[in-house]
Amino acid sequence: MRRVVISGAGIYSTIGLDLNSVADSLYSGKSGIGIDERRKEFGFRSALTGLLDRPNLKGLLSRRERIGLPVQGEYAYMATMEALGNAKIDPDFLKSHEVGILYGNDSSSIPVIEAIDVMRDKRDTSLIGSGSIFQSMNSTVSMNLSVILKLRGINLTISGACASSSHAIGLAHLLISGGFQDIIICGGAQEINAESMGSFDGLGAFSVRQDEPAAASRPFDRARDGLVPSGGAATVVVESLDSALKRGAPILGEIKGYGFSSNGEHISVPNVEGPKASLVKALKAAGMQASDIDYVNAHATSTPVGDLNEGKALLEVFGACNTPVSSTKSMTGHEMWMGGASEIIYSLLMMERGFIAPNLNFSAPDEALAQLNVVPETLERELNTILSNSFGFGGTNSTLILSKYRK
């Protein structure tokens, strides 16, 4: 099996529009959460959301390239160009090498709604316009980026709910370690708009702590009352070690293990066994013990049951090691389809700069999680190996383990 590394990263998120600003936000514990007044007009139970402006791609992409991109595709383009830039991959390289894309995405609501509005109003599909179909398919991000970047390798979208982009990286790791591809652009994109979140809000899963948005997302805190939806895009370049060394590319970290499992139970209520199986499988794939992990970037979204059950799984595997844990969702909110990839980038930044980002708003644990080592404030710490969890509806679980690159 070949060794697999990350040779580039890029991000467009609610806590920063590039790696440096995101690293600063993580260190200082800056929140990207606010209020969307439109959600109040739509009758949302909670108007809390991550806040992010649309990038202006005019001048960067042609009309035909822009017209097929929904908002999360625009975020993904920005993140991907940053990742390719610091991976030292330019258009000439893409022309002469087989590079693939596996991108996480699991919705594209606005173009679907707009097309239906035209059909209902005009009763004529020829008035929907030419970009709609390419914006509205679930594979919109990989479809568009593969054409814009002229990719000739594997070309797929991974839809695994809130674990989508973690699975994308894990699957790329397997394809590259197995020798099927040398370089795969991986990531996740998540739309931010009221229309895509109404049905989720209707489940009553969102925090209603609207008087103080920055305090709303409080993973593992006893007073947590739900998640805060968020979004953006995050891209990593996953590459065989040999290829990265041959190109003289920077090596941000090595992917050591990918664990996955399915809960086999409820569609929305997570259990303990599924996440635990994913954790154990990732450690086994990495050939590591729990004590080898210096930091866990938890999935913890700030929901009462989700955090409790993940915490129990973590204690069962890491309890004896007192491994530090934090959830960066306390700052970003829940980035859903994007979260697996963004949290790998957050962890890489912490590993590079030697700190653990704080689990904001953590004041007291659940009784059952009293032994979990949640990090409430920024901690200076050398990190050699990190583990990142991502779980999703349907009981899909993904766990990735990354280490600093050592010859």
Binding site for other proteins (CB under 8 A): 62-64, 67, 122, 124, 126-131
Give me the residue label for tokens 């390239």.
65
Min dist CB 135 to other proteins, Å, is 13
Residue nearer to other proteins on the CB measure, 148 or 186: 148
Distance, in Å, from the CA atom of 329 to the CA atom of 323, rounded to the nearest integer, reads: 18
Distance, in Å, from the CA atom of 243 to the CA atom of 251, rounded to the nearest integer, reads: 11
**Residues ≥6 apart with Cβ < 8 Å to 316:** 272, 276
Contact 233, 76 (CB under 8 A): yes
Distance, in Å, from the CA atom of 143 to the CA atom of 127, rounded to the nearest integer, reads: 23
Contact 89, 80 (CB under 8 A): no
Contact 103, 340 (CB under 8 A): no
Distance, in Å, from the CA atom of 306 to the CA atom of 266, rounded to the nearest integer, reads: 12
Min dist CB 130 to other proteins, Å, is 4
Q: Count CA atoms within 13 Å of residue 307 on its CB side.
A: 33
**Residues ≥6 apart with Cβ < 8 Å to 98:** 152, 153, 181, 182, 183
Closest CA to 401 of 6, 1, 2: 6
Min dist CB 137 to other proteins, Å, is 15
Min dist CB 95 to other proteins, Å, is 21
Distance, in Å, from the CA atom of 262 to the CA atom of 393, rounded to the nearest integer, reads: 10
Residues annotated as part of the active site: 162, 299, 334
Distance, in Å, from the CA atom of 384 to the CA atom of 103, rounded to the nearest integer, reads: 27
Min dist CB 134 to other proteins, Å, is 9
E-strand ranges in 251-394 read: 253-262, 295-297, 325-326, 355-356, 379-380, 385-392
Min dist CB 64 to other proteins, Å, is 7
Residue nearer to other proteins on the CB measure, 59 or 248: 59
- In the structure encoding, which two tokens stand for residue 137, read together? 């398919």
Residue nearer to other proteins on the CB measure, 125 or 322: 125
Min dist CB 126 to other proteins, Å, is 5
Residues of 377-387 as b/e, b for ≥16 C-beta within 10 angstroms?
ebeeeebebbb
